[in-house]
Amino acid sequence: MAPAIQTHAEVLEAFRSLRTSILLSASPVPRVILITSALPGEGKTTTAVNLGAALASFGSKVVVIDCDMRRPSCHRSVGVKNSPGFVQCLTGHVELAEAVLPAPGVPNLSVIPCGPIPPNPAEVLSSSLAAESLRKLRADFDYVLVDSPPLLSVADGRILATMVDGAVLVARAFETPYDLVCRARSLLYGAGARILGVALNDVDLRREGYGHNGSYGYSYTGYGAPGSEASSRHGNT
């Protein structure tokens, strides 16, 4: 089993609930989805991998692409090698199909690791090959999840936001300042992205008043339109 794939029943239910919330959040159903955050260390890669596993458990073909070309970690989270990767695809060194690796122990889930860190990530992601690669993957997979760098750190996430059907913003409960989440959301709107929701992890259910066991959960807040809000909290993560 991939190292970052959660197996606890309540955690699995949390990500399945996130899956359902995203799929019901917009029409048409988003198939190429950006997973990003305002700051580093908020759990975007773990969210991308586990959301991918939740989608794959329905029998859908899913691929997670590591587009964090500054601090790549999808390969470690899934338990695959980091090369060949997306960087080599975008620089013309390997074919896209060569970089698609099956996630160990997770049927229907694949990952495209980052590969070697390039000196100019934003330029690599701005290339016509990036958009073309996403179009090819859309044709081959039911869902394509794009793990991007934090929005407030570099421009890469905003570049990727122009190529996807929608975006999920990941934040760590009680740690990520609300104003920074709002700034990140504004950057996505500025890029023309359809924001599917804000996903909170490490939600303390006892602190939030949703339970008495002190477990940590997952919260999904939909932002289908500015000012609209719908939330659900489930399980541990």
Whether 138 is covered by a domain: the verdict is yes
pLDDT at 174: 85
Whether 84 is covered by a domain: the verdict is yes
**Bridging pattern class, strands 195-204 and 166-172:** parallel
Whether 139 is covered by a domain: the verdict is yes
- Residue 116, number of CB atoms within 10 A of its CB: 14
**Tell me: the pLDDT tens digits for 11-29?**
778 788 888 888 887 789 9
Domain that holds residue 21: 9-234
Distances (CA, A) of 169 to 3, 71, 151, 191, 219: 23, 18, 9, 14, 12
Whether 1 is covered by a domain: the verdict is no
pLDDT at 52: 95
pLDDT tens, position by position, for the chain (237 residues)? 555 666 556 677 878 888 888 888 778 999 999 999 999 999 999 999 999 999 999 999 999 999 999 999 999 999 999 999 999 999 999 999 999 999 999 999 999 999 999 999 999 999 999 999 999 999 999 999 999 999 999 999 999 999 999 999 999 988 899 999 999 999 999 999 999 988 888 776 555 443 333 333 444 444 333 333 333 333 333
pLDDT at 157: 97
Give the total number of structural domains in the chain. 1
Contact 167, 195 (CB under 8 A): yes
Output the DSSP codes for the chain: --TT---SHHHHHHHHHHHHHHHTSSSSPP-EEEEEESSTTSSHHHHHHHHHHHHHTTT--EEEEE--SSS--HHHHHT--S-S-HHHHHTTSS-GGGG-EEPTT-TTEEEE---SPPS-HHHHHHSHHHHHHHHHHHHH-SEEEEE---TTT-SHHHHHHTTSSEEEEEEETTTS-HHHHHHHHHHHHHTT--EEEEEEEEEEHHHHTS-SS--EEEEEE--SSTT---EEEES--
Whether 60 is covered by a domain: the verdict is yes
Whether 112 is covered by a domain: the verdict is yes
CA distance 96 to 167: 23
Whether 2 is covered by a domain: the verdict is no
Look up the CATH number of the domain holding residue 66.
Answer: 3.40.50.300
pLDDT at 8: 58
Whether 121 is covered by a domain: the verdict is yes
